[in-house]
Structures are given as structure tokens and as C-alpha cells.
Amino acid sequence: MVLKDPDFIAQIERWGARFLPEQKLSDYTSLGVGGPADLIVLDRLDALEPVVEGLRGRGIPWGLLGGGTNLLPVDEPFRKVFLQLAPGASDLVFEGSTVHVAAAAPLGRSVMECAKRNLGGMEGLVGVPGSVGGALRMNAGAYGTQIGPLVRSVTVFRGSTGERQELSAGAIGFQYRKSSFAPDDIMLRVTLELIERPFREILDHVKALNEKRRHSQPLKEKSAGCIFKNPPGLSTGRMIDELGMKGHRVGGAVISERHANFIVNRDGGTASDIFRLMDTIRERIYRAHGIELEEEVIVWRN
Ligand code: EPU
């Protein structure tokens, strides 16, 4: 346990947050891996400032745990406290074709809520797991849609200064699977500008994309989505597949037979199994193509 001060723990609860000591991060990641860590769940957003201030004052390092769907934390215990924002009841507020969404809101549900109000443009993102904030940080994308171009502004808590700031889209650098947010920036709300489109049309598009995804990705298994980025103009999945590596296994970590850029966790695999399998993939791709693959998944190394 990193946080041991009983007075501070009691204070945290009064601010509207919950202290959950020594949680297994494997219970919080879609890959089902990750060692123990202390967690503070913020049920109220205004608890953020005093909690961070309190941690800082005590010299306790902290980080942010989002939806855990693109995350690979090591198996060893973490020497920091992770904050998690609880999704609220009223996550979406509509104003014409503009929508204000809480960063902790689940992405897929938000896409569908917008669709019900005849607002589209995010269809490609519907099957991307995780929170809206996580999608922003990674500039999540699929089937020709990326979230970045839909963003008008983002309200962010700057971990470095302890202050909230509203950033306009132009001030945020969105690139392929990358944004300019600092690791200790916590996104609170995002304003998106969507496209007016009839619900039926959006729904048909979503259904078609879901069908495509079901066939080409191992959706029923534990994974973190694509494990490596695509090099410009190339598909990492296809390159790994062409090397005949589907089904290749290290411990419980297996290269999916459905999509070779997915590592799935079968039979209680660990983060170290996944790291070893990633190293093997990296080596094979380097030998075959002279390309150094870049991780797409966010690795937490303690
Ligand atoms: N392919 C193979 N074998 C495989 C996988 C793919 O031959 O095992 C071929 C496909 O047949 C296709 C091409 O490679 O011709 C591209 O495959 P796919 O359409 O699945 O796209 P991708 O480039 O592998 C990207 C994103 C996915 C996103 C899909 C759909 C990255 C790293 N991956 O995958 O995003 O869902 O496009 O738009 O950018 C993620 O970010 O976690 C993710 C899964």
C-alpha cells in the first residue's frame, strides 16, 4: 500500500472519492494483466483538485487510470496511486449539432446516444472500447474515422499546475494514435461538433461496421486492441500474418488467429508473457522488413 495516512484517507471519502487499496490492475484492464496498485475513484469531479493537492503534498506519485482498454501494466506492484473518474449520470449535454461529453463516459454508448439525436460522424468509433477521454488521448480511430477532427474543445486538468484549462481544438495536436496531452493531464469534458444525419442511416452504418469488426477482430477475447501501430502505408497485422505467426504463444499470450496485430490473453497470461511475445514479433518484423514496430498499446512500466 502506497497511501497509508488514515486521516487523508478519511478526508478523501469526505471529498466524494473512494480509496480502494491494493487493487489488482488485472481486474481493470481489458487484457486482464497488471499488478497491484492503490486506486482512488473520484465520484465527484470537484474532488480532483484537493485529492491531487493532498497526494502532491505527501510526495505520493499518482497517475490516471482510464477505461483500461488500451493498457498494458507490468505485473509488479505499483509505487503510485491511480485516480479514476467515475462516469456520471448526465454524461452528455446537447446544443444543436454540438455535444458536451464527460471524458469518463464510455465511447460506444456516447456514439449511440448522439445517433439517437440524429447526430453522426462518429460511427467508425462505435466498436472502439474505452472512455471518451482515452479515445482523445490516443486519437482513437477505426474505419476512416478519428475522434480528433470532431473535437471543438477539451476541458483538461493539468497535473503539472493543478489547474483546469479549456483548450480549443487548434491547441491540441492530434496525430495518428497520438495527441499532445501530457501524461498527467486529466481530460474532464470534451465538446464535439457532429454531423446531422438520420438515426436510421447511422444505425445501418454502425451495424455494417460491427459486422466487419466481428469477422476481423477477436472481440470476445481479452485484448487491448492492436498492439503495434501501423507503419505509414503498411498494415502490421498483415505483416505478422504473412510471417505465419498467428497462434504463436508465450505462456498465456497468443497472437490472435483472427487478427495478427492482436495479442489475446488466454489461460491467465501475464504482462511478462505479453512483453516476451511482443519482443518476438518485433524481432521477426525487423529481420524480415527492417522496420522497428512502435507500440500502440500504452505500457506502464512502474
Ligand atoms: N490483415 C491480414 N491479416 C491479419 C490482419 C489484417 O492479412 O491478421 C490484412 C487485412 O485483410 C486488410 C489489411 O491487413 O487487408 C488491414 O487490416 P484491417 O482492416 O484489420 O486494419 P488494420 O490496419 O490491421 C486498423 C487499426 C484498427 C482498426 C482497423 C479498422 C491500427 C494499428 N489498427 O487495423 O485499430 O480497428 O484499422 O479500421 O491502426 C486499434 O487501434 O487498437 C485497432 C484495432
Average confidence score pLDDT of the chain: 96
114 an active-site residue?
no
Does 258 sit in the ligand 1 pocket, CB within 6 Å? no
For 83-110, give the DSSP string: EEEPP-S--EEEETTEEEEETTSBHHHH
According to the model, what pLDDT value does residue 1 have? 83
Look at ligand 1, atom 2, and give the residue with the nearest C-alpha.
238
Which residues, other chains included, contact 252 with Cβ-Cβ below 8 Å and sequence gap of 6+? 265, 266, 267, 268, 269, 270, 273
Give the whole-angstrom CA distance, residue 128 versus residue 219.
Answer: 10
- Per the residue annotation, which of 114, 137, 189, 226 is the catalytic one? 226
Convert the pLDDT of each residue in 250-263 to its tens digit.
Answer: 999 999 999 999 99
> pLDDT tens, 139-196?
999 999 999 999 999 999 999 999 999 999 999 999 999 999 999 999 999 999 999 9
DSSP letter for each residue of 15-64: TTEEEEEEEEGGGTSTT----EEEEEEESSGGGHHHHHHHHHHTT--EEE
Centroid of ligand 1 to alpha carbon of 130 (angstroms): 18
Q: Which grid coordinates are listed for 211?
A: 459486422
Residue minimizing CA distance to atom 20 of ligand 1:
216
Band (89; pLDDT cuts 50, 70, 90): low
| Residue 90 clears pLDDT 90, i.e. is over it | no
213 among known catalytic residues? no
Instruction: Indicate the pTM of the whole model.
Output: 0.95
User: What is d(CA 50, CA 60) in angstroms, rounded to the nearest whole number?
Assistant: 14
Ligand 1 center from residue 213 Cα (angstroms):
9
Tell me which residue has its CA closest to atom 32 in ligand 1: 229
Residue in the structure block whose three cell numbers are 477475447: 221
d(CA 96, CA 119): 9
Q: Active-site residue among 114, 137, 177, 258?
A: 177
Segment 4-11 shows an average pLDDT of 95
228 DSSP assignment: B
Summarize pLDDT for 193-245 with one digit per residue, the tens.
Answer: 999 999 999 999 999 999 999 999 999 999 999 999 999 999 999 999 999 99
Residue 292: predicted pLDDT: 98
State the pLDDT at residue 302: 81
Tell me how far CA of residue 167 lies from CA of 94, 121, 153, 174, 177, in angstroms.
19, 22, 5, 13, 19
pLDDT digits (tens, 9 = 90+) for 34-73: 999 999 999 999 999 999 999 999 999 999 999 999 999 9
d(CA 302, CA 216): 33
Type of residue found at 136:
L
What per-residue confidence (pLDDT) applies to 174?
95
* Residues shown for the chain: 302
Alpha helices in the chain (DSSP H): 6-14, 48-57, 107-116, 132-138, 199-216, 236-242, 271-289
> What is the rounded CA–CA span in Å between residue 250 and residue 142?
28
